[in-house]
Amino acid sequence: MIREISPEGSDPSDTADSAQARLTVDDPASVPIRPAVSVLMVRDGENGLEVFVQHRVSTMDFAAGVVVFPGGRVDPSDETRAASIEVRDPAAHTSAWKNSSIAEVADGWRALLAAAVREIEEETGTVLDPSDLKPWANWVTPLGLPKRFDTYFYLAVVGEIQAPRHQTTEAHTSEWLRVDELLAEEAAGRLKLMRPTLVLLGELSTLGGTDELIALERRFDPVSPDFPAS
């Protein structure tokens, strides 16, 4: 069971990146919002649903020392490669992100997929088929923080043949962990999760195995919480 989350800006998950949280922003509205992607790679384990996560190193200037899903910012190269991205059901992607800012860019969802495929290959060695990336959630960093991202989350069921591994310098460990184990460790204070990660893991804990996740008709609006002034 996911624990109750305190109001935005006061929950431990909001200050997981303590170095960033201490910074002040003279003009919050001037902080650019950068598009980013993150992928929940999941599989059915012997004792429940498992997800592939990374334990970020403590020297990072963003999300230092927290547990995250693989991913990163959308680069110009992704926009260049967007035209080559093909999926079985383009309408599923345009529909999923219709209320998100990426909808303002013609075929912007293709750049997101290009970024997701690139980031996963760079960070885990796994080459994903864009058609296997299921739109899952959209979170925008609250106003008032020194770095802001418009992050698009995807879900991908990963088989044994794909075998993601640890190969990123941004994390000291990458591993498969049970969803319920991650939530229990966070609740006990033994690991740190940022708010989107915590919320999405809580959702996964209620949704069953990979067959149920793939069959789920997922509809959502962007989550853009307010961050109260200190």
In a domain, 167, yes or no: yes
In a domain, 65, yes or no: yes
pLDDT band at 10 (very low <50, low <70, confident <90, very high): very low
In whole numbers, what is the pLDDT of the chain averaged over residues? 86
Burial profile 5-32: b = 16 or more Cβ within 10 angstroms, e = fewer: eeeebeeebbebbeebeeeeeeeeeebe
Domain holding 183, by residue range, is: 12-25+33-215
pLDDT band at 23 (very low <50, low <70, confident <90, very high): low
In a domain, 40, yes or no: yes
Q: What pLDDT is stored for residue 226 in this prediction?
A: 67
**pLDDT (tens digit, 9 = 90+) per residue, 120-178?**
999 999 999 999 999 999 999 988 888 899 999 999 999 877 789 998 877 888 999 99
State how far the Cα of 3 lies from the Cα of 203, in Å rounded to an integer: 12
**pLDDT (tens digit, 9 = 90+) per residue, 45-80?**
999 999 999 998 754 455 556 899 999 999 999 999
In a domain, 178, yes or no: yes
In a domain, 230, yes or no: no
Task: Look at the chain and report how many structural domains it folds into.
Answer: 1
pLDDT band at 32 (very low <50, low <70, confident <90, very high): very high
In a domain, 229, yes or no: no
Q: Which residues are 175's β-sheet partners? A: 53
In a domain, 106, yes or no: yes
State how far the Cα of 43 lies from the Cα of 185, in Å rounded to an integer: 20
Q: What pLDDT is stored for residue 175 in this prediction?
A: 94
Q: Distance of alpha carbon 150 from its chain centroid, rounded?
A: 10
Q: What percent of the chain has pLDDT over 70?
A: 83
Q: What percent of the chain has pLDDT over 90?
A: 67
Q: What pLDDT is stored for residue 205 in this prediction?
A: 96
Q: What CATH number is attached to the domain comprising 80?
A: 3.90.79.10
**pLDDT (tens digit, 9 = 90+) per residue, 82-99?**
999 999 999 999 999 999
Copy the structure tokens of residue 215.
Answer: 């069959």
